[in-house]
Amino acid sequence: MSGWRLADGGAIDRSRPLAFSFDRKALSGFAGDTLASALLASGVRGLGRSFKYHRPRGLWGLGGEEPNAIFDVTEDGVTTPNLRATVTPLRAGMALASINAAPDAAHDRYRMVDLAQRFLPAGFYYKTFMGLGWMRWEPMIRRMAGLGWLDPANHPAANTPQVNARCDVLVIGAGPAGLAAARAAALGGAMVWLVDEASEVGGTLRWRGGTIDGADWHDFADDALAAIETAGGRVFRNTTLWGAFDHGLFAAWERRESAPDRHWRIRAGRTILASGAIERPLWFAHNDLPGVMSAEAALHYLRLYGVVAGRRIVVATANDASYPVAAALAATSAEVTLADARSETPGAPDGVRLLRGARLTRAKGSHTVVAAVVDGAQHDADTILVSGGYTPSVHLFAQAGGKLDWNESADALVPRPGSAPMVVAGAANGGFGLATTLAQGHAAGGGSGPVPRVAAEGDWGLAAMRPDPALSGRQWIDPQNDVTLKDVALAAREGFVSVEHLKRYTTLGMASDQGRNANFAGLAAMAALTGRSIPETGTTTYRPPFTPVPLSAIAGLRRGELFNPVKRLTLEQSHRSHGARFREYGGWLRPSAYGDNEAEAAQSEALAARQDVGLYDASPLGKIEVLGPGAAELLDFCGYVRMSTLKLGRARYGLMLGESGIIHDDGVVLRLAADRFILSASSSHVGSVRLILEEARQDRFDPVSVYLHNVTANWVTLTVTGPRSRELLRAAGMPGALTDDAALPHMSVTETAWDGHDLRVARVSFTGDRSYELSVSARHGPALHSVLEAARRRIGGSWIGLEALMILRAEKGYILIGKDTDGITMPHDLGWSASRQKRSDEYFGRRALFTPEAKRPDRRQLVGLETEGDTPLPTGAHLVPLNGPRRSLGFVTSSYFSPNLARPIALAMVEGGQSRMGEELGVFHLGDLRSARIAPACAFDPEGERLNG
C-alpha cells in the first residue's frame, strides 16, 4: 500500500465518491478519476500478471502506453474485457478483475511459472510445442494467457454513427504545440478541427503547467479555442484519431457520455500532427516490479487527481524533465531522492536529495518495490519513478507513409519533413521544452504574428540511456509480453536481427501498448548487439489503429442484415408467401426450398421438375448487354468460345478465363442483333465479368465502338423447366410462338410482348430438361409470377428452390464455377478442348493454356462418381487409391441423392480422371474410407433428348 491521495487538489469531484471493486476488494474513488488514478490512490500495487511468466505487474503510465493496468470490467452484470485503466473513467459500481491471473493478481496459481523462466526463453514456443503436436498444448496455453475473457452476454450496441467530414486544417493533439498550431491556423481564417483523446485540451500543460504570453496557459488555450470557434472550426475532446489512411483519410473515435460514440472519417486540406511524445522506461534489474512507474505519469496523477505515487520515492533519470516531477512530489510529504545519471545537472529542487552521476541498477522486492540500488548503494524506497528520455509519437506520421530520421540531440527517431502529407510539430517532432513546442506549433499553423512567449527556460538537457547487457539480473524490455534484454540477445544469436524478425520471434512490441514502451529499447539493444546504428537497425511497421478501438465503433451500424448485405429478389415476398426458405447464394438471398424441411423439399421439388414442371426465380443471372459494332470482337477476345459466329436469335454456352487460363465464369451469350448481345454471367460473377469486359473494352479495343450495360437488376427472370413446361406456358397464355420448337428451338432467344409488356424468352437449360427463361421488367415481375402460378395450379408442377436446382444440374454433370472448379481448373479439364485446339486468334487466357503445367496429362479432370448404398458421398472428401500409399488424387466437388435416379450422384475432380473411367477409388473423409467408381459426369439423360422432350 503505497500510493495515497492528498487532502485536496486535482481535477476530481471530491463531493462525489464512487464505490468500486478490484479483484473483489471494495475500494472507492471520486468522480473524475480514471481507474488508474483511483487504484493508485487506494494504494493497490499488484494490478495483474504478465503474459508468460505471470510476474506481478503494477501501474506504469498515464495513457495508451500503459502495458500492465488492463482489466476485465463488469458493469450491470456485463463484462467488457481488456479495458485500459489509464484511459477508462471510473464509474460507480464497476467491478475490476485483473487479467492473466487465476483466480486474481494477488493469488495467481500460475506464478510458479516464473521459477522455470530459464527454461522458457524467447522462442521456446516454437521449439517446445511442436513435439507432441500444437493441438495438445494450445488449450492449456489459451487458458493461461490471452488477456481478458469474452463475456457471451456482452453484445455492444450497433449504434455508432459513421460521419464523413472535411475541414481546412486538422490538428491532431491539443497539447501546447497543437494549441499553438490550431490557434495560428484559425486566426488565419482556416476552419480548424482540433482533436485530442483527453477529456480536456492542454496536453502536458495540464500537469506541468506553464506561463504563455505572460499569463497562465489556460488563457492561451481559451484564446485558441475561441479562435477556432470564430473561424467555424471544431474542438473534439475524448476523441482518438486512430488511423491515417490513403488519400488523406483519417479515422477518429469520439467517446460521448450521454450519446453513442461517433466514428469520424475526416479529410483535411492540411494536417498538423502534434501528438507529443511518450516517456521511455529505464532498464535495470527487476524493472518490472510493481512500484516502478513513469516519472511523467507520477506528475500526471499528482496534479490531475491529487494522488501521490508513494511515500519514499527514488526518481531515476537522465534528463531535465524529471526535476519538476521530483520538486512537485517533494512538496507533498513524500521523501524524494533524485538519481541523475548525468554528472552535470540542474540544481537540486527544494526538498529533494540529488545524486549526480548516479545509475540505478536494480529494484528490490518480490511483489512490490522495497528498495532501489543506485551505484551499489541500497536506498529504501516504495516507489521508483524513471525517465529514460522521450519517444516522439510518430505513429500517424508513419501510417501516412512518412519516413523517420535519427536525431542525435533528441535521442530519437523523428519525422523526415516532406515524407508524409502532414506537418509535425512539438514533441512529436523531437522538439522538447515549452518554448520549442509552441514555436513549432505556431509555425506549423502558418502563424503570422509573434510566436507565443514563455518564461525563460534553459536548454533542454538529456543524456541517452540504453539497456546495459553488463548488468546482472533480468531487465524487462516489454513488460506485458515478458521480453527481456536476454531474449533480444538470444534472438540476435539465432539470427533474428531484423527488427521485424525480432518482433515476431520474441513477441516484443506485440502487447496491447503496441511497442510504445518496448520498441525503442528493443531496437537500441539489437543495434548494440549487432554493431549497427539505430537508423541502420530500423523500426517495425506502424499500422492502424494508433490505440485499441472497439470493433463496434468501426463497424458502426453495419451489423446483422446491414453487414455484408445480400441482394434481394423483386419477388422475395411472393416466394415467401409460397413457403420459401431463403439462403444466400452468390451474394443473393434466394429460395433454397419451398417447405419447412429443406432436404425433403429439395428431393420432392427435383422429382416434380423432372416429372412435371418446375419453376424457379433466375433473376440474379447476369444480363450484361454488349452493344456496338465492336461487340462481337470484344466477346471473342474475352471468351473462350467464339461468339462472333453466333447467329441472330441464337444462344451459345461459353466460358470466360482469367489471364492464367483458369476458368473465371461460365454462362450463355444471347445474340439479339448484329451489334447487340446479352451475356448471362453466373449470378455471383456478374460484377467481375463486367470488369473484365470493361478493362478489355477500354484498354484493347476502340472504346467508342462497344459499350457495356449491366442491367441485371432491371429484370425479373422466371424459368419454367420440365417435360410439361410448354403446357404450362400455354396455360399461362404466353404467345404461341414461344412453344413452337421451329420458331424457338433449344438455344435460341426472342423478344416479344406479353400483356402489353416487353418479354424476352430464352430457351436455355440448366436442368437438362426443356426450359424457358422468361424475363420482364421488374415492375411486371409480380404479374408474370401470378400468371405462371395460376397456370401451375391448373396443370401441376412445383416451384423449386436452389437446392433442387443443384440436384438437377448435378444429375446432368453441369458444373457450378467455384464449386466444381477451383483455382487451377482450365477448360480442357472439363472436357472443353475445342477452342484450345482450334482457335488461332488471341483470346484472354489463351497463352496460359499451352504451358507445360496446362499440358500435364495428370491434371485433375471432371468426372462423375458412383457409389453403393443410399448415402451421398461427402462433398470435399478426398479421393485416394484403394491400394498402395494413400495420397489425394482429387476431391468430391458436388454430391447429392438423386430422386430421379434413386441413388447418390457426385461430381469430382480427379487426376487424369478421363482415363480412369470404371476405376474404383477410395473416398476418404474424417478417417472413414468408402469406395466409389469413376463414371461420366452426366448421370441423367446422356443423349440430351429431354432438352426437346
Partner 1 sequence: MDERDWTNRTPSSGDRMEGRGAVVTCAAPGGAVMISGDLEAALAALAPGAPFVGLGARIPEGPFALCIARDRALVVTEAPLALTPGWHESYAATPADDLYLCMIVEGEEAGTVAAAATGAPLDASSSSAMVLFAGTPCLVAKGSDGFLVWAQRPDAAYLWSFMARLIAQ
DSSP run (H or E) holding 499 = helix 499-506
693 — phi, psi (to 5°)?
Answer: -65, -45
Out of 25, 256, 453, 709, the residue judged to bind partner 1 by CB under 8 A:
709
Alpha-carbon dihedral angle through residues 785, 786, 787, 788, given to the nearest 10 degrees: 50
With binding defined as CB under 8 A, does residue 150 bind partner 1?
Answer: no
**Count of residues touching partner 1 (by CB under 8 A):** 56
d(CA 211, CA 231): 25
Lookup: cell for 651: 444462344
Fill in the DSSP letter of residue 210.
Answer: -
Lay out the site mask for partner 1 across 630-649 (x = CB under 8 A, - = otherwise).
Answer: -x------------------
Question: Is position 701 an interface residue for partner 1 (rule: CB under 8 A)?
Answer: no
Choose one: 135-143, 562-570, 828-836, 922-930; the region binding partner 1 (CB under 8 A).
562-570
Cell 426458405, residue located: 581
Among 628, 872, 913, 922, which residue interacts with partner 1 (rule: CB under 8 A)?
628
Site track 103-142 with partner 1 (rule: CB under 8 A), x = hit: ----------------------------------------
- Of 711-740, which residues contact partner 1 (CB under 8 A)? 711, 713-715
Is 708 a residue that touches partner 1 (CB under 8 A)? Answer: yes
For the chain, give the longest Cα–Cα distance: 109
- Of 125 and 707, nearer to partner 1 (C-beta) is 707
Question: What mask of x and - would describe binding to partner 1 in positions 598 to 627, judged by CB under 8 A?
Answer: ----------------------x----x-x
267: left (phi over 0), alpha (psi -120 to 50) or beta: beta
Quote the least distance from Cβ 780 to partner 1, whole Å: 9
Pairing of strands 262-273, 249-254: antiparallel
586 sits in which H/E element: none
- Using the rule CB under 8 A, is 161 a contact of partner 1? yes
Separation of alpha carbons 828 and 859, rounded Å: 10
In angstroms, the CA 210 to CA 199 distance is 19
- Residue from 128, 159, 378, 541 binding partner 1 (CB under 8 A): 159
Q: Shortest gap between Cβ of 701 and partner 1 (angstroms)?
A: 13
Cell of 889: 488424387
Query: In the set 209, 703, 735, 912, which binds partner 1 (CB under 8 A)?
Result: 703
Note whether 673 binds partner 1 by CB under 8 A: yes
Q: Rounded to the nearest 10 degrees, how much is the dihedral formed by the CA atoms of 610, 614, 620, 622?
A: 60
> What are the b/e assignments for 233-268, b being 16+ CB within 10 Å?
bebbbbbbbbbbeeebebbbbbbeeeebbbbbebeb
Name the residue nearer to partner 1 (CB basis): 206 or 760.
760
Residue 347: exposure state from Cβ atoms within 10 A (0-12, 13-18, ≥19): exposed
Q: How far is the CB of 697 from partner 1 (least distance, A)?
A: 10
Q: How far is the CB of 161 from partner 1 (least distance, A)?
A: 6
C-alpha pair distances (Å), 37 with each of 219, 307, 723 = 27, 7, 79
Q: Select 427 or 589, whichever has its Cβ closest to partner 1.
A: 589
What phi and psi, each to the nearest 5 degrees, are found at residue 82? 60, 45
Of the candidate spans 153-161, 180-188, 495-503, 845-853, the one that interacts with partner 1 by CB under 8 A turns out to be 153-161
> Judged by CB under 8 A, does residue 675 bind partner 1?
yes
CA-to-CA distance for 505 and 484, rounded, in angstroms? 13
Can residue 154 be called a binding residue for partner 1 (CB under 8 A)?
Answer: no
Q: Which stretch binds partner 1 (CB under 8 A): 400-408, 445-453, 703-711, 890-898?
A: 703-711
| 750 is a contact residue toward partner 1 (CB under 8 A) | no
Residue 153 binds partner 1 (CB under 8 A): no
In 3D space, the residue among 799, 637, 798, 778 whose CA is nearest the CA of residue 717 turns out to be 778
Q: Cell 493496468 identifies what position?
A: 69
Location of C-alpha cell 470490467: 73
**Binding residues among 224-263 for partner 1 as defined by CB under 8 A:** 249, 260
Amino acid at 884: G
Please report how close the Cβ of residue 575 comes to partner 1 at its closest, in angstroms.
Answer: 12
CB of residue 619 to partner 1, shortest distance in Å: 8
Which are the contacts of 256, defined by CB distance < 8 A and separation ≥ 6? 238, 262
Picking from 831, 842, 773, 768, the residue whose alpha carbon sits closest to that of residue 805 is 768
Interacting stretch for partner 1, rule CB under 8 A, among 317-325, 555-563, 606-614, 834-842? 555-563
Minimum CB–partner distance for residue 186 and partner 1 (Å): 21
Question: Does residue number 565 form part of the binding site for partner 1 (CB under 8 A)?
Answer: yes
Query: What sign does the dihedral 507-511-515-521 (CA atoms) show?
Result: negative
Toward partner 1, which CB reaches closer, 786 or 851? 786
Given a contact cutoff of 8 angstroms between Cβ atoms, the answer to whether 322 and 314 are in contact is no
On whether the CB atoms of residues 482 and 51 are closer than 8 A, the answer is: yes
- Taking contact as CB under 8 A, which single stretch among the options 28-36, 118-126, 775-783, 876-884 is the one that binds partner 1? 775-783
For the CB of residue 584, give the shortest distance to partner 1 in the complex, in Å.
5
Contact residues for partner 1, defined by CB under 8 A = 158-159, 161-166, 249, 260, 265, 267, 557-562, 565-570, 572-573, 576, 581-584, 588-589, 620, 625, 627-629, 631, 672-673, 675-676, 703-704, 707-709, 711, 713-715, 758, 777-779
